[in-house]
Amino acid sequence: MSAAPGFLDRRGWIWFLAIGVVLIVVVPLLNALPASGAAVRLPDYLIPLFGKYACYAILALSLDLIWGYAGILSLGHGAFFALGGYAMGMYLMRQIGTRGVYANAVLPDFMVFLNWKALPWYWYGFDHFAFAALMVVLVPGVFAFVFGWFAFRSRITGVYFSIITQALTYALLLAFFRNDMGFGGNNGLTDFKDILGFDVHEQSTRRALYITSVIAMGGVFLVCRAIVASKLGRVMLALRDSEARVRFLGYSAERAKLFGFTVSAVLAGIAGALYVPQVGIINPSEFSPANSIEIAIWVAVGGRGTLGGALVGAVAVNLAKSWLTGEVPEAWLFVLGGLFILVTLVFPHGLVGLAQQLKTMRRLLPAVGARKLAE
């Protein structure tokens, strides 16, 4: 069984704080420079793009927590991301008020278009940010808890669990496509105006959302680090390596799995909530099983079982996606498939593992050379 990592040593804290200063202070300042005469100014479009990457990094951390440390591969994790996004989208839709397409409407525009007569009961309360924030955490968390309780109690593991989670997110995809669900159908929720009274289209608001996303990413990293460094983290590692032995020693595998799965879903929901105001839309395509598979690829490319690897994988893969889909869009799916094959066959420990192997080889090479000279 692999040893659980410590929380953060002194060197780790220095790196953590240094990266935090760059992302939270330097990046917004470079964007806030005057548009004329500043050669190092960051373009406005990069701020929401970086904010989106931070949300993806949180999502990758949430999956790595259960896959990398507990051996639970969820291929439906995009569902929790989308549920958190819809909760935030419902709040943003309620903020539009009379400034929508239908100026005198008290209902969201799509409900007026579909001839709805009254606001559905499950939309009540979403005109308050505090209620929406609670739902961002509660809806994915309760959904994951109920699903996980039945699944883990039935001892569904391995590929069977992965298939069931994929079927779950596909079922939600079909449900949210329906207009009578009250979530905007195929078009979803969009045309947002304000968040907490601030215009979501203003660059200052976008910078604030970006900073919030980066702070959340750092907070989620520390939460995940604290979990995996705890006694529970050691139990999760043991479950990944040998669940039968954990049961033999008297630990409750179901409780440990259920806790990790529920926390992971909550973190994914928070990522979705931060994502929606920055991209300006949430629709059923976020439930697509292909999205959940792509999340697993991020974690695998970065390095499963290393929280830093999840961050690296999410950012690196999405940077490549942003560039390739702009330059050679038809090549992206081939590149993504190639990455999956490379991770499986060439560097199974991901980029972080590959870097550690190269570092070890560099340290050992002088010793090997000295031994050969001595011979």
Answer yes or no: are the C-beta atoms of 288 and 78 closer than 8 Å. Answer: yes
Q: At 357, is the pLDDT very low, low, confident or very high (cuts 50, 70, 90)?
A: confident
- Report domain extents, the chain: 10-288
Gap between the Cα atoms of 265 and 65, Å rounded: 10
pLDDT digits (tens, 9 = 90+) for 31-53: 988 877 667 889 999 999 999 99
Q: Is the dihedral of CA 28, 29, 35, 40 positive or negative?
A: negative
pLDDT digits (tens, 9 = 90+) for 58-84: 999 999 999 999 999 999 999 999 999
C-alpha separations of 86 from 61, 77, 90, 132 in Å? 20, 15, 6, 10
Judge whether residue 102 has pLDDT over 90.
no
Supply the Cα-derived Rg of the chain in whole angstroms.
Answer: 22
> CB neighbours of 156 closer than 8 A, spacing ≥ 6?
164
What's the whole-number mean pLDDT along residues 124-148? 96
Gap between the Cα atoms of 299 and 352, Å rounded: 11
Gap between the Cα atoms of 215 and 234, Å rounded: 27
Judge whether residue 373 has pLDDT over 60.
no
Question: What does pLDDT average to over the chain?
Answer: 89
Q: Are strands 189-190 and 194-195 parallel, antiparallel or unpaired?
A: unpaired
| Per-residue 3-state assignment (H helix, E strand, C coil) for the chain | CCCCCCCCCHHHHHHHHHHHHHHHHHHHHHHHCCCCCCCCCCCCCHHHHHHHHHHHHHHHHHHHHHHHHHCCCCCCCHHHHHHHHHHHHHHHHHCCHHHCCCCCCCCCHHHHHCCCCCCCHHHCCCCCHHHHHHHHHHHHHHHHHHHHHHHHHCCCCHHHHHHHHHHHHHHHHHHHHCHHHCCCCCCCEECCCEECCEECCCHHHHHHHHHHHHHHHHHHHHHHHHHHHCHHHHHHHHHHHCHHHHHHCCCCHHHHHHHHHHHHHHHHHHHHHHHHHHHCEECHHHHCHHHHHHHHHHHHHHCCCCHHHHHHHHHHHHHHHHHHHHHCHHHHHHHHHHHHHHHHHCCCCHHHHHHHHHHHHHHHHHHHHHHHHHC
Least confident of 97-106, 212-221, 247-256: 97-106
The per-residue pLDDT for 372 is 58
The per-residue pLDDT for 112 is 85
C-alpha separations of 58 from 20, 213, 298, 310 in Å? 15, 9, 11, 9
The candidate with the shortest Cα–Cα distance to 358, out of 367, 369, 347, 368, is: 347
> CB neighbours of 285 closer than 8 A, spacing ≥ 6?
173, 188, 291
Q: Is the dihedral of CA 126, 129, 134, 135 positive or negative?
A: positive
pTM, two decimals, is 0.92
Judge whether residue 326 has pLDDT over 80.
yes
Q: At 257, is the pLDDT very low, low, confident or very high (cuts 50, 70, 90)?
A: very high
Judge whether residue 209 has pLDDT over 90.
yes
The candidate with the shortest Cα–Cα distance to 362, out of 374, 354, 372, is: 354
C-alpha separations of 374 from 352, 363, 369, 370 in Å? 34, 18, 9, 6
Answer yes or no: are the C-beta atoms of 79 and 292 closer than 8 Å. Answer: yes
The owner of tokens 């630990």 is 251
Torsion, Cα 290 291 293 295, to 10 degrees, reads: 170
Beta-carbon neighbour count of residue 331 at 10 Å? 12
The per-residue pLDDT for 4 is 60
